[in-house]
Structure 1
Amino acid sequence: MLDRLWETHRGRVVGTVVGFVLGLIYLIVGFWKTMVFGLFVGVGFWIGHRMDRRDDVGEVLENIFPDKWFRKS
């Protein structure tokens, strides 16, 4: 069962685990940071979902953030 989950949703699993670990660090720092914990897990899941769909994460981030953050020399 875990093998099938890993094969079909690898990006989501990795993204969620990374988000969970980063969120856990914030959770340990203080109680009010719990909201940030959920945000990290959600963002990790979203990035993992994009990876599963074979989307270019760089292009997605360019669409979200202003052009001045992604100036190409």
Structure 2
Amino acid sequence: METLYEFFTRHGGKVLGSLLGLFFGWLVLTRGLLAAVFLFVCLGLGYWLGKRLDDEQGLGALWRQLFPPR
């Protein structure tokens, strides 16, 4: 019999994708499409900024990349 760890190692993407799809569908049904899309955009930006901070690139490097000195 397959352990839970082995199951998620082999099928983790499918499980995560299914849960995200279920959550997005629930948001669309309860809040509307634009609110759901806005939430996912904010979630993606938050993840991206957090990843930059975890990688020790910092917000200063991001600021300089978006607005280079003249």
| TM-score over 0.5 (shorter chain) | no
Relative to the length of structure 1, the TM-score reads 0.42
Using the size of structure 2 for normalisation, the TM-score is 0.44
